[in-house]
Amino acid sequence: MDIARPRPVRGRVPAALAVLTAGLLAFHRAVPNTPGRMGSLLESFLPWLGLAVVPLFLYGLVRRSPVVLVAVLLPVAGWTRSFGDLLLPADPAGPRDLVVVQHNVSDENPDPADTARALAGSGADLIALEELVPDALPAYERVLAARYPHHVVRGTVGLWSRHPLNGARTVDIKPARLTEPWSRGLRAVAATPHGEVAVYVAHLPSVRIVPRGMTSAGRDESAALLGRAMADEPLDRVILMGDLNGTVDDRGLAPLTSRLEVPRRGFAFSFPAWLPLVRIDQVMARSATVRGIDTLPATGSDHLPVRARIALD
C-alpha cells in the first residue's frame, strides 16, 4: 500500500527571508556592532530594507504561494511602523515657526558664490554651513550679507542668521586621536522674535565603508562629545544643524537622538547629491518640534541642502 507523502510547502525560503527582513526592521538594535560596526551599517540604510519586499511579493504572486504572501505582510507592517509617518505631508505652518537650512557646501565647490545665492533664496531664518575653506569663505560672507546680517564662523563651520546672534563660541568635538588643528563645532544664541534659541552647528568625522564593515569610531566619539554639550546647554530651546555623517537610525548618533527630537515628516536623502541614498545632514531640536524636512536643488557640493521647519514650543 502506497502512503501519500505530504507535499512540501512552496516558498519556505522566501517566507523565511520575509520574516528575517521583518526581524531586522523591528530589532535592528540587536545586530551587534562588532566586528565592523555592522549594526550601524545596517541602520544607515534601514529604510531601503523595505525594497526586499518587492521581489518576495512578486515571487509569491508568480508561484501562487500563500505562505510567502502572508509572510510579506510582516516586513510591510514593520516598515510602515518605522517609516510610514515620514511619507505624510508636513504639519501645517504655525506662527512660531523658524525655517532653517543645513548644507555641507564641500571644500571642493567650484562656485561658492552661486551656492550662496541659492541658499540666500531659500527663505530660511538660519543657515548652517560646513566645509568652509578660507578661499571660499569671503564669497559666502559677501553674498549672504544682505539677507543675513548676522553670522559667526568657527574653523570650517558657520552660521548665518536673520536674527541677532550672541554668545558665540567654539564647541570642542575633536576626537582624541586627532593631533592636527581641527575645529568643527560652534554654538551661538539666536535672538528670535519668539525668544532665545541656542543654535549648534557641527560637522562630525567622516565614516568609510570598507570590506570589513564601517569605520565610525571617530564619528561616534565626536557625537558623544556633542551630546555632552547638549546635556550641559543651559537654554531649554536648542537647534542642532550639521553634517553628522550618520542617519537618525544609526546608534552611533544615540548621544544626540536620545536628547533631541528628529524630523517628523520627510526622508530628505541628502548624500551623495548625484544619487541621494541617506540623510546624513541633520536638523534636530529640543523644546521645539521639527515639523518636516526636505531637500533643496543641488549646488556645487556633493551634498544636497536640507531645509526644515521648526515650531518653537
Q: pLDDT of 281-302, one tens digit each?
A: 999 999 999 999 999 999 999 9
Note the pLDDT of residue 187.
98
The stretch 82-88 carries a mean pLDDT of: 92
What is the CB neighbour count within 10 angstroms for residue 120? 19
Distance CA 285, CA 190 (A): 14
Q: What is the pLDDT of residues 47-59, one digit of tens each?
A: 999 999 999 999 9
Q: What is the dihedral of CA 198, 292, 278, 256, to 10 degrees?
A: 30
Distance CA 112, CA 138 (A): 9
Position 2 confidence tier, pLDDT thresholds 50, 70, 90? low
Displacement of CA 222 from its chain's centroid (Å) = 16
Q: What is the pLDDT of residues 119-177, one digit of tens each?
A: 999 999 999 999 999 999 999 999 999 999 999 999 999 999 999 999 999 999 999 99
The stretch 74-95 carries a mean pLDDT of: 88
**Contact yes or no for 308/289 (Cβ under 8 A):** no
Q: What is the dihedral of CA 233, 140, 119, 269, to 10 degrees?
A: -70
Share of the chain above pLDDT 90, in %: 85
Position 89 confidence tier, pLDDT thresholds 50, 70, 90? confident
Position 313 confidence tier, pLDDT thresholds 50, 70, 90? confident
Residue 236, SS3? coil
> Residue written as cell 502512503?
3
Positive or negative: CA dihedral 219, 220, 223, 228:
negative
Note the pLDDT of residue 209.
84
Claim: this prediction has a pTM higher than 0.85: yes
Positive or negative: CA dihedral 176, 101, 207, 23:
positive
Q: Which of 9-18, 185-194, 248-257 has the lowest mean pLDDT?
A: 9-18
What letters, b where the CB count within 10 A reaches 16 and e where it falls short, cover 45-79?
ebbebbebbeebbebbeeeebebbbebbebbbebb
Note the pLDDT of residue 92.
74
Q: What is the pLDDT of residues 253-277, one digit of tens each?
A: 999 999 999 998 999 999 999 999 9
What letters, b where the CB count within 10 A reaches 16 and e where it falls short, cover 122-141?
bebbbbbbbbbeeebeebbb
Residue 241 has pLDDT above 80, yes or no: yes
Order of strands across the sheet that contains 165-170: 165-170, 185-192, 195-203, 238-243, 281-286
Domain topology for 97-312: Deoxyribonuclease I; Chain A (3.60.10)
Instruction: Outline which parts of the chain fall under CATH 3.60.10.10.
Output: 97-312
Position 304 confidence tier, pLDDT thresholds 50, 70, 90? very high
Task: Tell me how far apart the terminal alpha carbons of the chain are, to the nearest angstrom.
Answer: 79
Residue 219 has pLDDT above 90, yes or no: yes
